[in-house]
Structure 1
Amino acid sequence: MGIARELFERSVIFGAGGGGDVVSAYVLCELLRSTYGIRECLPGAVLWERWVVDPYPGPVPRHLVRGARVGRCVYVNPGTYVLRSGRVVRPTASAVADVAGVEVPAATLEYGALGVRRCFEELAAEGWRVALVDVGGDVLARGGEEGLWSPLADSLSLAAASEVGAPLVVLAPGADGELSPDYVVSRVAEVQAVGGLYGVVGLWVDLVEVYERVLPRVASEASRVPYAALRGWVSGVAMRGGSRRAYVGPLSLVGFALSSRALAEVSPLARAVAGSRSLAEAWRALNSMGVVTELDLEVELAKLVGCGREASGEDYLRAREVARRRVSRSP
């Protein structure tokens, strides 16, 4: 129990990959309390909702956030909302704040890895540790993987976390339908080989009740996968309108606790965005490597279906293909 308390006592666990991961951050906090005796743990968020929640391209900048305390982090409460071209969007972190009865610290991405790090440092100055959770494992990507859809938020979160020495939990390999479970585990083994694996955490069936408090109030797809596994579902599940399929099975209940510094050493993507001072700088850095990001996808979706409109699975696939062609032609 000693290492778990050293890593996670009085911690804010940020969902690394975007808005939906805050659900798993909340569940992980509850697991750490019940199983490891952690007394203080808060879920944290990265304010980038997926198109199904926020059908406008790009992460949420802080100037669009309403009803929240703002410092270097944005502190989301149950009444927090976002204004997108006159449309009210409720971030997933707001629903989690309501269920958990806490303010949810959130990082915004307009200032790149530097802005995320400053949010982490603000929390550290108040006596909090910082940790990350990534559902699915795409934070482990190198950049050239065929199934990779959304590396930008993960890379920025990892780059900032590595600078402050935060641990990272990769939960439910394959749950987001991007990288396969086998590939995720192989990348975990690479981190283990350089001394970066702290251990493994597992989800128990008593967490079904925790999931059922929050899942009816949010639209996160990947965070539903561990819940489905806890309920006995063993199969694939369609995501993003059927544009990809996610693994559901025993590995969906496993989380690998890693050193973010060790992972960053073997992550070309985190190295590429390290020190970035704007989202645009980080975006260009990944595009220059030939990597298509979730921002590329959302820009093309906006062109294809229009801002504020729903997208089908076919729309996702078409937008991704257009983004791939554009990025491949970039100098």
Structure 2
Amino acid sequence: MTTKRLLVAAGGGGDAITAAMVHSALHGSAAPALVLTYAWERLVVDPVPGPRRATDFTGTRSAGPGLALVTPDTRPVPPAGSLLPPLAAGLRPRLGLLDPYGGATGLARQIAAAARWCRADRIDLVDVGGDIVARGDEPTLRSPLGDALAVAACAATGIHTTVYVAGPGLDNEVPLPVLMPRLGAPAFALTAEDTEGVLGVFDWHPSEASAMLVAAARGIRGVCGTRDAPAPLVLDEASRGVHRLTLRRTLELSPLARALAGSTTLEAAEEVSRTVCGFSEIARERRRAAHAAGVGASPAPGASPAAPRSVGAVRARFAAWERATLADGIEYVTSRRITEELELSSTEADVLLDELRAGSPVRRAAPLWKLAPDRVPEPA
């Protein structure tokens, strides 16, 4: 059996994409690798709150006790949704599923099983943005639990683990002035070559932090507006940096990861998050899902489904939105921001983005979109 590099994506699908890039930079894109990742995705992708486990999928492949591999033929069991199967088709490394329902202890068993299957004696733990070193009291912190569980689990395996934080601040969870002293100087920077194996996934994957990391690695510089971030982010030379930390140092920086040691259920881990951080991101997802279900279940009396908008109407809506966004000083945007802020259906989004791609070569700054003032009609 071929030895494989073992990587753990600290958060969701965006970290799996970033892990593939870090692997390419460290070892070459052709080197065999396994990326372990959560199936923990936005409610727009998966309407069921919290992470999925192996029993929420069909078509996974068992690679040993507790280790389920995701393949292009894997499918989520409705009503759950997941982008991991197409991600398995779009990335070069194999994908394995992290199931956090056994807490840090259960995750450690899965990671150890993966290390045996890979014949790996070390782990690369990868995070995009930097919330893996959050202290828990940052007002912009939104989703620390998955990252902290991954840190605690890797520590419990006893396997040598190196932590890589790529694209500092791009997840907008820990402010840069607070984050950078924790990370120190970058170990290396991602290049355009490192993005070649992942660029195509952004035609459909909504990850914004990893999209901005790819853009920065490809030389795009400027102010970028995303759907997730309350304020625009600046893509500069530091945005493509990758910072290397020891696992010990990461544990020192993360009270949540230390407190999760020995946890045996996701419910217990969630309670630890409430104690350390003052909130549970899973509880937030439950509230949002309940609200979305309530809105969908209670249409106004006599209301009918919205009629599809014409191509001209969508184009005019985009033009007005583009003028307003440019006025805010934003030069680049993600596909997700365009789609969600304009409230486009998937069909409308496909038509609009195809038009933008075909209409002007300057529009597509893959995987972002460049707002073009010379292309925006002036208001009448």
Structure 1 and Structure 2 fold alike (TM over 0.5)? yes
CA distance in 2 between partners of 1:80 and 1:307 (Å): 30
- In the alignment, which residue of structure 1 is the partner of 2:24? 30
Structure-1 separation of matches of 2:16 and 2:230: 23
Structure with the greater relative contact order (CA < 8 A, sep ≥ 6): 1 or 2? 1
Q: Is the 8 A contact 1:181 1:247 kept in 2?
A: no
Q: How does 1:71-82 map to 2 (within 5 A)?
A: 71-82=65-76
Cα shift at 1:91: 2.7
Please give the alpha-carbon distance, in whole angstroms, between the structure 1 residues aligned to 2:161 and 2:211: 25
2:172 is aligned with 1:177: yes
| Higher mean C-alpha displacement, 222-231 vs 280-289 | 222-231
Distance 2:111 2:294 in 1: 32
Structure 1 distance, partners of 2:34, 2:205, is 18
Indicate yes or no: 2:32 matched with 1:40. yes
Q: Percent identity?
A: 29
Within-5 A mapping of 1:222-261: 222-229=209-216, 230-240=218-228, 243=230, 245-261=232-248
Q: Contact 2:36/2:95 (CA < 8 Å) preserved in 1?
A: yes
Secondary structure of the residue aligned to 2:17 is helix
Provide the residue aligned with 2:261 in structure 1: 274
Give the conservation status (yes or no) of the 8 Å contact 1:25–1:43. Answer: yes
1:120-172 CA deviation, whole Å, 9 max, x = no partner?
A: 11022231232211000001101000110001101100111222331110010
For residues 178-193 of structure 1, what are the structure 2 equivalents within 5 Å?
Answer: 178-189=173-184
Contact 2:99 2:107 (C-alpha < 8 Å) held by counterparts: yes
- For structure 2, the residue ranges without an aligned partner over 5 or more in a row are 297-339, 342-380
Name the aligned partner's letter for residue 91 of structure 1: L
Query: Once the 2 structures are TM-superposed, how far is the Cα of residue 98 of structure 1 from its aligned partner?
Result: 1.0
Q: 1:201 aligns with which of 188, 192, 201?
A: 188
Residue matched to 2:367: none
| Residue of structure 1 aligned with 2:145, choices 129, 141, 152 | 152
Could you tell me the TM-score, scaled by structure 1's length? 0.79
Give the 3-state SS of the residue equivalent to 1:306 in structure 2: helix
1:214 CA drift (Å)? 2.4
Aligned to 2:109: 118
**Is residue 87 of structure 2 the alignment partner of residue 96 of structure 1?**
yes
1:42 is displaced (CA, Å) by 2.9
Contact 2:167-2:241 within 8 A present in 1 as well: yes
Q: Does residue 137 of the first structure (1) align with residue 130 of the second (2)?
A: yes
Q: Per the alignment, in what secondary structure is the counterpart of residue 149 of structure 1?
A: coil
- Deviation for aligned residue 1:308: 11
**Mapped partners of 1:91, 1:45: distance in 2:** 12
Report the secondary structure of 1:45's partner residue.
strand
Distance 2:48 2:207 in 1: 17
Post-superposition offset of 1:102: 5.2
Name the count of aligned residue pairs. Answer: 291
For residues 78 and 25 of structure 1, what CA distance do their matches in structure 2 show? Answer: 18
- Stretches of structure 1 that go unaligned for 5 or more consecutive residues are 1-8, 190-196, 314-331
What SS class does the counterpart of residue 111 from structure 1 fall into? Answer: helix
Residue of structure 1 in register with 2:41 after alignment: 49
Give the structure 2 partner of residue 324 of structure 1. Answer: none
In 1, the alpha carbon distance for the partners of 2:153 and 2:242 equals: 21
